[in-house]
Amino acid sequence: MSCLIVQSDKTLLLEVDHELADDCRRAIAPFAELERAPEHVHTYRVTPLALWNARAAGHDAEQVIDAFISYSRFPVPHSLLVDIAETMDRYGRLRLQTHPIHGLVLHAVDRAVLEEVVRAKKIKGMLGERVDDDTVAVHPSERGNLKQALLKLGWPAEDYAGYVDGEAHAVDLAEDGWQLRGYQREAAESFYAGGSGVVVLPCGAGKTIVGAAAMSLAESTTLILVTNTVAVHQWRSELLRRTTLTEDEIGEYSGTRKDIRPVTIATYQVMAARKKGVHSHLELFEARDWGLIIYDEVHLLPAPIFRMTADLQARRRLGLTATLVREDGREGDVFSLIGPKRYDAPWKEMENQGWIAPADCVEVRVNLTDSERLAYATADPEDRYRFCASSAAKTEVVRELVRRHEGEQTLIIGSYIDQLDELGEALEAPVIKGETRVKERERLFEAFRSGELHTLVVSKVANFSIDLPEAGVAIQVSGSFGSRQEEAQRLGRLLRPKSDSRSARFYAVTARDTIDQDFAAHRQRFLAEQGYAYRIADADDVLAGDEL
């Protein structure tokens, strides 16, 4: 009896404890998205985007169908097999190619599909003259926008138009004291072989190193886009350590410096900033003949960068992320503008191999006082989450949890500055927030890394791209409503393997019977899908000294 149940609604149920489960998981991973991963049965879903991702990575319908038939416990619904074959067959019927006379063209291997799309209102302005019955010219500046539009029409184009090499610049990996892990090399090579695309790796698995490896393959000038100035400095430090690049070859383009070098690291905030309605810094994209553009935390791409990326289709593009979850549902834009997913490693698989730390997740629920409950019930809807998430009842719980982990590197994480200031005062711990100067942030982060400082209170400025390898405990008191990717990133602060191999502890302190609890359930969904189960604890039991 096999381990997989294939259902006609395109869901797949995988029995985790079956002896064939690991083989099956590897077989279906290229074309099925993991939705839920509780203890015994994992749920995957087959979507058009996942199937097109698989086609772009070189898989065909025959491989997908063979995987289903090989591992399915019951006969696979025939209608599903037909639908898979027809969906995958849609990819590549339209091709973006270069023409010796007309430049960029859209060529069809199915003339009827071309006739359909050239008549679509959203497509017309992107196309030029008709070259022949099967080919139409494309305005070069519309290459990315056309790919977006075709994806939404259900006819994703295969992009054969190639890439300009960009300005050559030698980048080699340093050979002293370290070596690429196997999955890091495989991720970089998978990206480079495909030309452009996204690498999905858990926090702590070394996405920056994958970026460095990709740069050594591209051997060209590189623009790296990151989330904040601290991340700029971390990328710079890592590149100096892991590659042969010198300080003179790496520039910083941020709020404080505008230094363009063969390898330039810029922040999304500066790039997306507007002055009198104009994105004045976007000319950085054209300041050099970039051969490679790296998007760190690609799932966070702001709208202006999405728009500019539509114009950068002639450059190799690498997206790095721990999760492609976007609450606005724009994963398809990442696919069409950056490229398909080229490499993905499940969190639990990386944990089992020892590359990231195991984690224990606990939700601690506090009770509002009677007066707080009444105030919450009568508050305006837009104020309710802030009110319950910032409940004073959380302070004693946080204090107790910090006491229990005395001597361990502990992060207190939240979204509301007044709440964090109060916690910082109660715990006699420094607070890092948006207004904290970059130098002070870096000083505090370094004190935390070195063990000089054991407790640090941080706002959402620490959600992304902050390397704190010895952080072993995180206590979350409030978040960005129901954001799944924020929950994943916050847990990710703890997942770097510890020097003593201990597990990480992630606490979420929530207010019972409020939207704080509801949002927490939604936030935890991504981690549950990755196999992290939250235990529920009562705040009164925690304060009474019960074991967690």
CATH number at residue 327: 3.40.50.300
How many CB atoms sit inside 10 A of residue 69's CB?
Answer: 13
Higher confidence at residue 305 or residue 81?
A: 81
Higher confidence at residue 153 or residue 545?
A: 153
Name the nearest CA neighbour of 80 among 2, 30, 146, 5.
5
| Lowest-confidence segment of 266-275, 277-286, 416-425 by average pLDDT | 277-286
Q: What is the pLDDT of residue 62?
A: 95
Q: What is the pLDDT of residue 538?
A: 94
Higher confidence at residue 390 or residue 35?
A: 390
- Examine residue 176 and state whether it is found in any structural domain, yes or no: no
Examine the domain organization and report whether 414 and 486 are in the same domain. Answer: yes
Examine the domain organization and report whether 101 and 224 are in the same domain. Answer: no
Q: What is the pLDDT of residue 533?
A: 73
pTM attached to this predicted model: 0.80
Examine the domain organization and report whether 314 and 361 are in the same domain. Answer: no
Higher confidence at residue 349 or residue 119?
A: 119
Tokens 């009198």 belong to 276
Higher confidence at residue 466 or residue 81?
A: 81
Q: What is the pLDDT of residue 73?
A: 95
**Section 172-180 average pLDDT:** 87
Q: What is the pLDDT of residue 470?
A: 73
- Examine residue 505 and state whether it is found in any structural domain, yes or no: yes
Higher confidence at residue 483 or residue 288?
A: 288
- Examine residue 548 and state whether it is found in any structural domain, yes or no: no
**Section 10-39 average pLDDT:** 87
Is 520 strand, coil or helix?
helix
Examine the domain organization and report whether 265 and 140 are in the same domain. Answer: no
- Examine residue 173 and state whether it is found in any structural domain, yes or no: no
Is residue 328 predicted with pLDDT exceeding 70? Answer: no
- Examine residue 131 and state whether it is found in any structural domain, yes or no: yes
End position of a domain, from candidates 90, 119, 145: 90
pLDDT band at 327 (very low <50, low <70, confident <90, very high): low
pLDDT band at 305 (very low <50, low <70, confident <90, very high): confident
Give the DSSP H or E segment for 61: helix 61-71
Q: What is the pLDDT of residue 495?
A: 75
- Examine residue 143 and state whether it is found in any structural domain, yes or no: yes
DSSP 286: G
Contact indicator for 97, 105 with CB cutoff of 8 Å = yes
**Section 253-273 average pLDDT:** 87
* Beta strand ranges found along 133-257 (DSSP E): 135-138, 158-159, 197-200, 222-226, 250-253
- Of the chain, the percentage scoring pLDDT greater than 90 comes to 51
Q: Using one digit for the tens of pLDDT, what is the confidence trace for 331-347?
A: 778 888 898 888 888 77
Q: Using one digit for the tens of pLDDT, what is the confidence trace for 489-528?
A: 777 777 777 767 778 888 999 999 998 888 888 777 767 7
**Section 60-64 average pLDDT:** 94
Mean pLDDT of the chain: 87
Examine the domain organization and report whether 148 and 275 are in the same domain. Answer: no
| Lowest-confidence segment of 315-319, 322-326, 429-433 by average pLDDT | 322-326
Higher confidence at residue 69 or residue 481?
A: 69
Is residue 465 predicted with pLDDT exceeding 60? Answer: no
Q: Using one digit for the tens of pLDDT, what is the confidence trace for 211-259?
A: 999 999 999 999 999 988 888 998 999 999 999 999 999 999 987 888 9
Sheet holding 127-132, edge to edge: 127-132, 135-138, 103-108, 94-99, 158-159
Examine the domain organization and report whether 272 and 363 are in the same domain. Answer: no
Is residue 530 predicted with pLDDT exceeding 90? Answer: no
Q: What is the pLDDT of residue 481?
A: 55
Distances (CA, A) of 172 to 32, 239, 402: 35, 10, 44
- Examine residue 358 and state whether it is found in any structural domain, yes or no: yes
Examine the domain organization and report whether 395 and 494 are in the same domain. Answer: yes
Q: What is the pLDDT of residue 483?
A: 62
pLDDT band at 329 (very low <50, low <70, confident <90, very high): low
Examine the domain organization and report whether 85 and 210 are in the same domain. Answer: no
pLDDT band at 87 (very low <50, low <70, confident <90, very high): very high
Examine the domain organization and report whether 45 and 151 are in the same domain. Answer: no
Examine the domain organization and report whether 233 and 283 are in the same domain. Answer: yes
**Section 438-458 average pLDDT:** 90
Angle made by CA atoms 336, 342, 343, in degrees to the nearest 5: 140
Higher confidence at residue 38 or residue 156?
A: 156
How many structural domains are present in the chain?
4
**Section 15-26 average pLDDT:** 90
**Section 73-83 average pLDDT:** 94
End position of a domain, from candidates 90, 108, 123: 90
Examine the domain organization and report whether 153 and 231 are in the same domain. Answer: no
Distances (CA, A) of 478 to 91, 95, 487: 42, 47, 10
Q: What is the pLDDT of residue 367?
A: 94
End position of a domain, from candidates 67, 90, 113: 90
Q: What is the pLDDT of residue 466?
A: 64
Examine the domain organization and report whether 189 and 240 are in the same domain. Answer: yes
- Examine residue 490 and state whether it is found in any structural domain, yes or no: yes
Q: Range of 100's domain?
A: 94-159
Is residue 482 predicted with pLDDT exceeding 70? Answer: no
Rounded distance between C-alpha atoms, residue 509 and residue 513, angstroms: 13
- Kindly state the tokens that stand for 536: 């529920």
Contact indicator for 235, 265 with CB cutoff of 8 Å = yes
